Amino acid sequence: GLSGTIRSFGSVIAEAIYTTILANRLARTIPALVPAAAENAGLPATSIPALLTGLAGTTNLTAAAVPGLNANILNAAGDAYRLANSQAYQTVFLASFAFGGLGMVLCWFTGGVDKSKDDFVAGHIHKHKEERALEEERG
């Protein structure tokens, strides 16, 4: 009961931290990499916001939605978008080392296991009187 609650609480905290780290890193890496790659490939600067919303999945990535978009620009922007995402996820991965280290330290504080109770059975699964009926059901 208590250990399950503690594990659930720890996972909720970790998820909140990882989500925050990812969102903050994406907010920095995508604007730093994607617009420059798209402009170098020939996309007009006025079309960058439409390209970013398209790459995020909010709108369609078509020439009608993003003026000046072609296959070369889409490839360059897509590569930059993937690189920005990989850098953001790399930061989340590195942050997971902190939780792993904390878990290792907390392992030192767990109590020992009582070896005298290795083969201990806490109780019967069924009543002794019902044993014949159960054996007959099994066949």
What's residue 23's pLDDT? 96
Q: What is the rounded average pLDDT of the residues 38-61?
A: 92
Which one is predicted more confidently, 118 or 12?
Answer: 12
pLDDT in tens, 66-112: 999 999 999 999 999 999 999 999 999 999 998 888 888 988 887 77
Rounded to an integer, what distance in angstroms lies between the CA atom of residue 29 and that of residue 88?
A: 7
Rounded to an integer, what distance in angstroms lies between the CA atom of residue 26 and that of residue 33?
A: 10
What's residue 122's pLDDT? 67
Q: What's this model's pTM, rounded to 2 decimal places?
A: 0.69
Rounded to an integer, what distance in angstroms lies between the CA atom of residue 88 and that of residue 5?
A: 30
Which one is predicted more confidently, 117 or 67?
Answer: 67
Would you say residue 33 has pLDDT above 80?
Answer: yes
What's residue 131's pLDDT? 73
Q: Are 46 and 15 in contact (CB under 8 A)?
A: no
Would you say residue 113 has pLDDT above 90?
Answer: no
Rounded to an integer, what distance in angstroms lies between the CA atom of residue 102 and that of residue 95?
A: 11
Would you say residue 15 has pLDDT above 90?
Answer: yes
Rounded to an integer, what distance in angstroms lies between the CA atom of residue 22 and that of residue 31?
A: 14
Non-local CB neighbours of 83 within 8 Å, separated by 6+ positions = 29, 33
What is the SS3 assignment for 2?
Answer: helix
- Which pair of structure tokens corresponds to residue 63? 């020439």
pLDDT in tens, 124-135: 566 667 777 777
